Chain A
Amino acid sequence: MWTWFHRLGSPRWFYNISGRWLPWLAIAAALLIFSGTVWALAFAPQDYQQGNSFRIIYIHVPAALLAQSCYMIMAVAGAIGLIWKMKLADMAAKSCASIGASFTLLALVTGAVWGKPTWGTWWVWDARLTSMLILFFLYLGIVALHSAISDRDQAAKATAVLALVGLVNIPIIKYSVEWWNTLHQPATFTLTEKPAMPAEMWVPLLIMVLGFYCFFMVALIMRTRLEILVREWRTSWVKELLAKP
């Protein structure tokens, strides 16, 4: 019954099947991001208060969502590696770390760029921004710990434990705008209520979010495939693969 789960742990199986998904995901990511960006920049209506400067929401919100999702995925992959000792999960977790750090940095920088015209300041030490900064430091810590340990399996296990310990930060980020009086606005998309903005504004945002998720999957898959090739270079299937022109 669990064969499908354990088959997922085979690097060769993953390499082959991800090779087939990758072009489709890349096309989907490109289409979604391109159409989302064009819609967002050219066709979405102006905000009555912020004018055109609100349009950076179409990069800021997807980047921030991805930063948090990436951390959760990394923690789950690390947990799978710890519990079931699947090396593929370790490889995926390692690949997630730097992607997540980049998304967090993008979210922080685009947030600062948005904050300057609207709040009058590049930065404010409110709960949401501070907890996102902590997330960035957690990502950097995980990358640093991984590179400090020379034994690959030990490094993967140690970073998995660290990722799980840091998981407590994610609910803090998500609920920071509800629990504290913050300058940062509350969530645009919630599961229970309609978005506060009109459809012409939130539909391109949704498209951008989906596009960013596809992009994340493309980046993750490409990095994991590289990691597989690096680790499994001695096996016959990799040697065959690399021998082909």
Chain B
Amino acid sequence: MTVLGVENDKIQFSVLGIFKAVLVRDLVIAFRHPSDLVNPLIFFMIVVTLFPLAVSPEKQFLAQAAPGVLWVAALLATLLSLDMLFQSDFQDGTLEQLLLSPQPLYIGILAKVTGHWLLSGLPLTLLSPLLAFMMFLPSEALPALMITLLLGTPVLSFVGAVGSALTVGLRKSGLLLSLLVLPLYIPVLIFSAGAVQAATIGLPIIGHLALLGAMLALALVLAPLAIAAGLRISLGN
């Protein structure tokens, strides 16, 4: 297709149609600027590298610190990547068009956040084994790390999108966004890092995963409502 939202010469009016249209548009735009994809990953790697350099390169220390360091780095990388979610669409008017469209804004937002996760959370999850290896994370904990990242990064995307929606029109919103969103990220961090920590010593993590899953379910259902409210407020509708 050459025009998004139009398939076989028919404009997509359905809910699934707008989901696909918004998601595909975001993915296509991102792949046209590969640096947007790669920069958060490079940041993730650099932040993880800072800890062995600043604190101690001893294998014992790194293995112990690895769950927390990897998760904090993933959190910060997600925070920085939130910029790509609404900012450029706000500046060129696409966001207003999304708000004005007859389809539910809920679905459009779901598509945008899914796109954001596919472009930031998923690559982070896929890169994490390499960094876990660099941080000497015990191999028993690697599945735990990947599962918690897989469950946790969508929550980070959703909650970050709430903050992003509230601050999208403001200048110098980067630091304010971090201030608003980090307290809400803390529960995800506690349970995820706790799960990886527990896995290193062989304890079951199913409780942690259940809570992370619950957070994901809650975020999936309720966050788009808050994001929609935030977008409507920021765009003055």
Give the interface of A toward B (CB within 8 A).
Answer: 82, 130, 134, 137-138, 140-141, 144-145, 148-149, 151, 154, 157-158, 161-162, 164-166, 169, 172
Contacts and interface: CB of A to CB of B under 8 A. Distances in A.
A130 B190 CA distance: 10
A130 B229 CA distance: 29
A158 B180 CA distance: 11
B158 to A, nearest CB: 11
B234 A154 contact: yes
A141 B179 contact: yes
Given A148-B173, A165-B184, A158 B234 contact: yes
Contacts of B233: 154, 157-158, 161
A162 B187 contact: no
Contacts of B170: 148-149
Given A154-B236, A158-B233, A166 B226 contact: no
Given A154-B234, A154-B236, A161-B233, A130 B186 contact: yes
Nearest to A125: B190
Given A145-B180, A165-B184, 4 more contacts: A137-B179, A158-B166, A158-B234, A166-B183
A148 B229 contact: no
A169 B233 CA distance: 23
A165 B173 contact: no
Nearest 6 CB-CB pairings of A with B: A137-B183, A141-B180, A157-B233, A134-B183, A158-B166, A161-B229
A181 to B, nearest CB: 13
B22 interface: no
A67 B163 CA distance: 23
A137 B176 CA distance: 12
A205 to B, nearest CB: 29
B230 A172 contact: no
Contacts of A172: 187
B157 interface: no
A74 B182 CA distance: 20
Interface in B47-71: none
B37 to A, nearest CB: 28
A196 B190 CA distance: 32
Interface in B161-209: 162-163, 166-167, 170, 173, 176, 179-180, 182-184, 186-187, 190
A102 to B, nearest CB: 18
A144 B179 contact: yes
Contacts of A82: 229
B55 to A, nearest CB: 19
B176 A144 contact: yes
A165 B234 contact: no
Nearest to A156: B233
B236 A161 contact: no
A140 B183 CA distance: 10
Nearest to B222: A165
Q: Which of B162, B170, B179, B183 has the most CB of A within 10 A?
A: B183
Interface in B199-237: 226, 229-230, 233-234, 236
A154 B170 CA distance: 11
B226 A165 contact: yes
8 contacts: A134-B183, A145-B176, A154-B233, A154-B234, A157-B233, A161-B233, A164-B226, A166-B184
A144 B226 contact: no
Contacts of B236: 151, 154
B166 A137 contact: no
